[in-house]
């Protein structure tokens, strides 16, 4: 349970890429201590300093190896290309027991990134579940939010975040972090449903290409929207 932002460390694993930077920025701004993890700790330190320079000096954000980041956090968020997905989870699974693990990975296969191509497990999140089992609170989220939207906090973002997970607890904890990041989140059910969320990303990339945009997203209508 997330009770106090200042005591709840979030590790962004593979956090030097665009999506990782955007999420780190959002949560650091909300007051969470952030650990940027990378295979290259020097690059992680540089990324942490870049984000810190975008915000006030009193935020807590550090850079280190993926292993150290996973070991020293309460929640770990994976933001790596799909090509590194299975390898990094297998290398870090011993550090993730009992923690919230949010998988942001989308199984994009260049160069045909606008074509939905799902892995044998059904989705990247289900692949994570096969590797990690029930030792973590596994959720999947933020697949359909672009890097540009994560860093554009000057105006309201017209995108929702759908969250799947292996338990109600994992989804609710993730929804708390979605709200802290400034987005409206919805419980999208069990982890098997992540196949739809991940697949939508390829469709949104294609829409962005066709309509000359960087901000295509999804929004759920017909529901009562509360804070």
**What is the model's pLDDT at position 227?**
65
Residue 50 CB burial class (10 angstroms; 0-12, 13-18, ≥19): middle
**What is the model's pLDDT at position 1?**
66
Residue 49: strand, helix, or coil:
helix
Q: Above pLDDT 90, what percent of the chain?
A: 84
- 113 has pLDDT over 80: yes
Q: Convert the pLDDT of each residue in 31-76 to its tens digit.
A: 999 999 999 999 999 999 999 999 977 899 999 999 999 999 999 9
**223 falls in which pLDDT band (50, 70, 90)?**
very high
**What is the model's pLDDT at position 57?**
72
**Residue reference for tokens 């990339």:** 205
User: Does the domain formed by 5-210 have CATH 3.40.50.720?
Assistant: yes
- 154 has pLDDT over 70: no
Q: Structure pTM?
A: 0.96
**213 falls in which pLDDT band (50, 70, 90)?**
confident
Q: Convert the pLDDT of each residue in 91-102 to its tens digit.
A: 999 999 999 999
**199 falls in which pLDDT band (50, 70, 90)?**
very high
**What is the model's pLDDT at position 204?**
94
Sheet hosting strand 100-103, strand order edge to edge: 61-65, 34-38, 10-13, 75-78, 100-103, 137-140, 160-165, 184-190
Q: Which residues contact residue 138 at a Cβ distance below 8 angstroms, ignoring those fewer than 6 apart?
A: 101, 103, 125, 128, 129, 132, 165, 166, 170, 191
Q: Convert the pLDDT of each residue in 139-152 to its tens digit.
A: 999 999 988 888 87
**3 falls in which pLDDT band (50, 70, 90)?**
confident
- Polymer length in residues for the chain: 227
Q: Above pLDDT 70, what percent of the chain?
A: 98
179 phi and psi angles, rounded to 5 deg: -65, -40
137 phi and psi angles, rounded to 5 deg: -90, 95
Domain boundaries, the chain: 5-210
Least confident of 100-109, 124-133, 155-164: 155-164
**Residue reference for tokens 């295979």:** 39
**What is the model's pLDDT at position 26?**
95
Structure tokens at 128: 């994570």
The mean pLDDT of 178-182, rounded to a whole number, is 94
Task: Look up residue 167 and give its DSSP letter.
Answer: S
Q: Where are the beta strands (DSSP E) in 91-195?
A: 100-103, 137-140, 160-165, 184-190
Structure tokens at 181: 């990041």
């Amino acid at each position: 349970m997330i009770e106090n932002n200042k005591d709840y460390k979030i590790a962004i694993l593979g956090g030097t890429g665009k999506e990782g930077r955007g999420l780190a920025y959002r949560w650091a701004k909300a007051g969470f201590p952030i650990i940027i993890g990378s295979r290259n700790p020097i690059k992680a330190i540089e990324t942490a300093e870049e984000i810190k320079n975008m915000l006030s000096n009193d935020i807590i954000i550090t850079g280190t190896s993926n292993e150290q980041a996973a070991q020293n956090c309460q929640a770990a968020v994976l933001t790596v290309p799909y090509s590194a997905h299975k390898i990094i989870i297998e290398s870090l699974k011993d550090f993730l027991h009992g923690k919230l693990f949010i998988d942001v990975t989308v199984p994009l296969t260049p160069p045909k990134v606008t074509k939905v191509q799902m892995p044998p497990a059904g989705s990247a999140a289900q692949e994570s579940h096969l590797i990690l089992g029930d030792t973590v609170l596994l959720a999947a989220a933020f697949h359909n939010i672009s890097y540009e939207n994560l860093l554009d906090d000057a105006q309201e973002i017209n995108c929702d975040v759908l969250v799947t997970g292996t338990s109600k607890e994992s989804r609710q904890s993730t929804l708390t972090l979605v709200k802290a990041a400034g987005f409206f989140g919805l419980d999208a059910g069990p982890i098997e449903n992540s196949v739809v969320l991940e697949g939508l990303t390829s469709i949104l990339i294609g829409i962005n290409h066709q309509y000359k945009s960087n901000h295509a997203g999804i929004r759920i209508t017909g529901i009562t929207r509360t804070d």
